[in-house]
Amino acid sequence: MRHLSDEDIVQELEKLGQEFIPTPMQREKARQQLFQPTRQRKAFRMNSLLPSIVSLIVLLSVGIGFYVSIGESGATNVTASWEGVWLDQTSITSPTRYVFKFEKDSFTIEDRFTSFVYNPEMDKEKALRGYKIKEPSLVPGEYSNYTVKRKGDLYTITADEFTYTLKQFGPRRFAGEDGIEYSTQTYLDQIEVITDDVTPERLEIAQQNDHTFLIEWGSDSMDRGNHDFNTLEHGKLVVSTDFDELQRGQPVYYHTPSSVIAKNAAVPEMYIGRVVGLPGETVEIKGGQVYIDGKMLDTFYGKATRRGAGEEEYFNTVPSSAYRDEQGIRDYFNMDMAAVTVEENTVFILVDQWWRGYDSREYGPLPIGEIEGIITGTAE
Amino acid sequence: MSSEAWFDEYYDAVYSYILMLVKDSHTAEDLSQETFMKVIRSEKQFNGDSLVKTWIFRIAYTTTMSYFRKKNPITYYFDLHNTKHERSSEEIVLLNAQQKQFYEALNQLKPTYQQVIILRKIQGFSTKETSTILNWSEGKVKMSLSRALAAFKEELEKGGFTNETLIR
């Protein structure tokens, strides 16, 4: 046996050394970490930095989320709704009596304070001592190109070189940034409203054709004070399978989701409800009122009712002997539901008498495929 | 010459040197990086007494040694990660059967022998340069190298290596 020569070993060792050189990627990574303009001074140890990186990412995403949510609920331009508004000073803590008048392109501030005018002899110094706000910041005059932006209950009026923030503390009451209080003559229309002029409140007699069939319905889930939809009262319901796009307000006939039947076997397999939320919209119920994408749904099916009556009407017309649990009924009229996003190819369904039926509040948005047909009216 | 140019020139060598010693690519990446951080930081202190490469390798050597010193006393008793560094050669780099035997034989040697073989024969430093890197006398480098090579050969032959079985 011949021993290995040193030469062979050295050659082989050189080859071995070649196997240990880094890949171009490792090299690039190291270069980037070393020669970034803001390079880290400490050795980069993934393991020790991972917690900080993860928490940084979490912090950032929370921050971004917060920022986005602020941005969304943040300043909205409500200038248009302030047109024609009069803002009268109500507080007497300042030697002023301001009146704001908002018009289409400008607004004016008048100071109708008169005490000094009527009594020129009065010692001004002494007179001012009685006022909490001695130097109001507002300068009477006409300001053009103004905007009013709303953020929560804060209204910021901006004109050239002029900003003034009002905080709303009552339906018609505002406090200025300097503490002066005002009131408006009218309520400001702050909430955008969605209406529905098409959907009739009562079912009408509908024509029948090849695409329609008749169903019976005995529940009072759609009752609006007239036993609405009840077959015994009004005749059978006409369901049409011939429909294209579902409209808001459209009553539909659909397969009851299995989750509902699993909970309550007495629920019929086919159910009736009204389309309230369309694909892509967000449906929320606040205080018994439906909001679509944050806009008030001002329709007969947009709020909690009992036999068609809202809270005020109900308690005014129904004798107190007829109900026992007033608080429970009031809670019903002021119910809340967290915002639900209606996915594509689904719709948000509500019955007309919320406490008497199952709908999307129970099972979430309904896949459009589950809808058998639209209810066009009653048969003759 | 700036440190970025030095990086281009010597990163591969430093990395492979450290990887052969620590046997873990992540640790090698970290230590190479630490080495170059020190190089960047003390760029101005480089006095030109030795070659740049020798100076950088001196830093790489001390960095790796202090890593071993830091790691061993405590991790040995408390840290289960220790096993991570005891990888078989397959996990470190892809080696053919013969290279594997060579590398494993090298790992059987005592650390000073490994150092001197890697620096002299793999990284190709001269005796003087190696003595600067290891802070040894030149005589010690020469002596260690001849003993290291002898021991290495023995290790190889223990594994059944002969002149005939060597694939060139």
Contact B98 A8 (CB under 8 A): no
Domains of chain B: 1-89 (1.10.1740.10), 95-168 (1.10.10.10)
- How does residue A39 score in pLDDT terms, banded at 50, 70 and 90? very low
Q: What is the ipTM of this complex?
A: 0.80
A17 contacts in chain B (CB < 8 Å): 16, 20, 118, 122-123
What number is the average pLDDT over the span A80-84?
79
Distance from CA of A7 to the nearest CA of B (A): 10
The proportion of chain A whose per-residue pLDDT surpasses 90, expressed as a percent, equals 25
Out of A2, A16, A45, the one facing B163 most closely (by C-beta) is A2
A13 and B121 within 8 Å at the Cβ level: the answer is: yes
Within chain B, which residues score under 70 in pLDDT? 1, 72-92, 163-165, 167-168
> How far is Cα A35 from Cα B11, in angstroms, rounded to an integer?
13
Indicate if the pLDDT at residue A1 is higher than 70.
no
Average pLDDT over residues A217-221: 89
Tokens of B36: 């170059």
Domain residue ranges of chain A, discontinuous segments joined by +: 77-190, 212-378
Minimal Cα distance from A39: which residue of B? B37
Q: A68 exposed, middle or buried (CB, 10 Å; 0-12, 13-18, 19+)?
A: exposed
pLDDT top residue among A134 and A42:
A134
Which pLDDT score, from 0 to 100, does residue B74 have? Answer: 56
Segment 2-21 of chain A within 8 Å of chain B by CB: 2-6, 8-17, 19-21
pLDDT digit string, tens, across residues A159-203:
877 888 888 887 778 888 888 889 887 776 556 788 888 888 888
Q: Give the tens place of pLDDT for each residue, B66-108.
A: 888 887 665 444 434 444 445 555 566 777 878 888 888 888 8
Q: Is A126 on the interface with B (CB under 8 A)?
A: no
Interface contact flag, A19 B95, Cβ < 8 Å: yes
Task: Map tokens 């109708």 to a residue.
Answer: A112
A212-378 maps to which CATH number? 2.10.109.10
Q: How far is CA A251 from CA A217, A260, A276, A362, in A?
A: 13, 19, 9, 17
Q: Mean pLDDT for chain A?
A: 84
Q: Do B16 and A10 touch (CB under 8 A)?
A: no
